[in-house]
């Protein structure tokens, strides 16, 4: 595929409508249809199934789409690297991270970095741990911050922080005044948890398994702030990082009790796609992040 074909093909594959894609690309519908026909003729296969005005990628198209996305990612990386060579004080870092790291960890990190590298800009994306890993692997993000360590191949990993975990309970809960608690003490409680695929959900499931019970999930959501609000009004208990800020609504905040289990911690790390050539801006931010985490944890 020629490099100038990548953009229109990816746009058409993602929008699935010739008219909408043509408008987005500032082309006429007949022009876009002819471009697609020429591409399919050159490849010798149909890439889309036609359903009236709608197109959907078929088996051939899905394979081609994945290769096209990776190719576009490589070309974008090359353009960023050239830009860094031409303007070494500038650059962009595309950082993906879990929602739970957006309240404190990521803002502190970027603020510290910008004080020494003010001309480097960021694009930020928050999502579940599985999605963050996927964004890094397909080239949509340069770096990811998440917990726990992903098991998928092709991912570089550098541990940064170990966060102690706590049991979140309503303010009037029988355990609210305790200095620490074992998770088995609430084995019969209703839990409020993150959706499957989120890092804290994996951590919760593993801790409960180690405590020899399966949590009874009453609510699932994708935001620790929402979990804190649901816990605060008495709808269940949960496991959250001890340092996560639980403030906001008019009701009393949930009480956080440190978990007594020695493995009740989550390790937050930085990931990147192995084998790639990061830009100068990404390398500088990655090195800064490692030093920042070391200083934050007292040099350990």
Same domain, 138 and 287: yes
* pLDDT digit string, tens, across residues 145-176: 998 899 888 999 999 988 899 999 999 999 99
Report, as an integer, the average pLDDT of 207-221: 94
Could you give the C-alpha distances from 56 to 37, 51, 62, in angstroms and in order?
15, 8, 9
| Residue 61 to residue 183: CA distance in whole angstroms | 49
List, as one string, the DSSP characters of 147-183: SS----TTEEEEEEEEEEEEEEE-TTSTTTT-S-B-G
* pLDDT digit string, tens, across residues 96-116: 999 888 878 899 999 989 887
**Which residues is 121 bridged to in the sheet?**
92
Same domain, 138 and 281: yes
| Residue 9 to residue 5: CA distance in whole angstroms | 6
Structure tokens at 283: 């390398």
Same domain, 180 and 260: yes
pLDDT above 70: residue 1: no
Contact between 235 and 218 under an 8 Å Cβ cutoff? The reply is yes
Structure tokens at 292: 């920042």
Q: What pLDDT score does 300 carry?
A: 46
Q: What pLDDT score does 248 carry?
A: 46
Q: What pLDDT score does 2 carry?
A: 54
* pLDDT digit string, tens, across residues 6-39: 889 999 998 989 999 999 888 999 999 999 999 9
pLDDT band, very low/low/confident/very high, at 249 (cuts 50, 70, 90): very low
Report, as an integer, the average pLDDT of 115-138: 88
To the nearest whole percent, how much of the chain has pLDDT over 70?
Answer: 91
Q: What pLDDT score does 213 carry?
A: 94
To the nearest whole percent, how much of the chain has pLDDT over 90?
Answer: 52
pLDDT above 80: residue 297: no
Contact between 271 and 150 under an 8 Å Cβ cutoff? The reply is yes
Q: What pLDDT score does 103 carry?
A: 78
| Residue 41 to residue 22: CA distance in whole angstroms | 20
Same domain, 237 and 194: yes
Same domain, 136 and 285: yes
Q: What pLDDT score does 88 carry?
A: 56
Same domain, 246 and 190: yes
CATH number, position 258: 3.40.190.10
Same domain, 203 and 148: no
Q: What pLDDT score does 73 carry?
A: 80
pLDDT band, very low/low/confident/very high, at 137 (cuts 50, 70, 90): very high
Same domain, 203 and 260: yes
72 or 272: whose pLDDT is higher?
Answer: 272
* pLDDT digit string, tens, across residues 223-232: 888 898 899 9
Domain residues for the domain of 290 are 80-160+267-296
Rg (CA), the chain: 23
Mean pLDDT of the chain: 87
List, as one string, the DSSP characters of 59-77: HHHHHHHHHHHHHHHHHHH
Q: Write the Ramachandran bin of 139: left for phi over 0, alpha for psi from -120 to 50, otherwise beta.
A: left
Count CB neighbours of 89 within 10 A. 11
Could you tell me the maximum CA-CA distance found in the chain, to the nearest angstrom?
A: 72
Pairing of strands 255-258, 238-241: unpaired
pLDDT band, very low/low/confident/very high, at 85 (cuts 50, 70, 90): low
Structure tokens at 67: 């290769």
| pTM attached to this predicted model | 0.62
Of 25, 47, 71, the residue that ends a domain is 71
Same domain, 245 and 186: yes
Same domain, 218 and 281: no
Q: How far is CA 54 from the centre of its chain?
A: 30
Q: How many domains does the chain have?
A: 3
Report, as an integer, the average pLDDT of 55-60: 94
Same domain, 45 and 120: no
Same domain, 274 and 142: yes
* pLDDT digit string, tens, across residues 186-206: 999 999 999 988 888 999 999
Report, as an integer, the average pLDDT of 289-294: 89
| Residue 176 to residue 170: CA distance in whole angstroms | 7
Q: What pLDDT score does 250 carry?
A: 42
């Amino acid at each position: 595929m020629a490099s100038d074909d990548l953009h229109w093909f990816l746009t058409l594959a993602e929008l699935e409508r010739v008219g909408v894609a043509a408008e987005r690309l500032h082309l006429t519908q007949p022009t876009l249809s002819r471009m697609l026909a020429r591409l399919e003729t050159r490849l010798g296969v149909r890439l889309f199934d036609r359903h009236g005005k709608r197109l959907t990628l078929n088996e051939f198209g899905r394979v081609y789409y994945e290769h096209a996305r990776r190719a576009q990612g490589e070309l974008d990386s090359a353009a960023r690297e050239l830009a860094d060579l031409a303007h070494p004080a500038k650059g962009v870092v595309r950082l993906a991270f879990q929602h739970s790291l957006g309240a404190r960890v990521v803002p502190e990190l970027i603020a510290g970095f910008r004080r020494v590298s003010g001309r480097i800009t960021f694009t930020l994306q928050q999502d579940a741990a599985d999605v963050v890993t996927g964004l890094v692997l397909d080239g949509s993000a340069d770096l990811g911050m998440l917990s726990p360590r992903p098991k998928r191949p092709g991912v570089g990993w550098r541990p940064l922080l170990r966060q102690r975990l706590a049991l979140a309970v309503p303010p009037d809960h029988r355990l609210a005044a305790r200095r620490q608690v074992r998770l088995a003490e609430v084995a019969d409680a209703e839990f409020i948890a993150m959706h499957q695929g989120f890092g804290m959900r994996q951590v919760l499931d593993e801790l409960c398994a180690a405590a020899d019970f399966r949590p009874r999930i009453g609510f699932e959501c994708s935001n620790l702030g929402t979990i804190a609000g649901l816990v605060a009004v008495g709808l269940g208990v949960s496991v959250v990082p001890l340092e996560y800020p639980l403030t906001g609504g008019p009701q009393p905040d949930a009480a956080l009790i440190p978990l007594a289990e020695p493995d009740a911690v989550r390790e937050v790390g930085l990931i990147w796609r192995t084998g790639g050539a990061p830009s100068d801006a990404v390398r500088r931010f990655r090195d800064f992040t490692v030093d920042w985490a070391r200083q934050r944890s007292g040099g350990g």
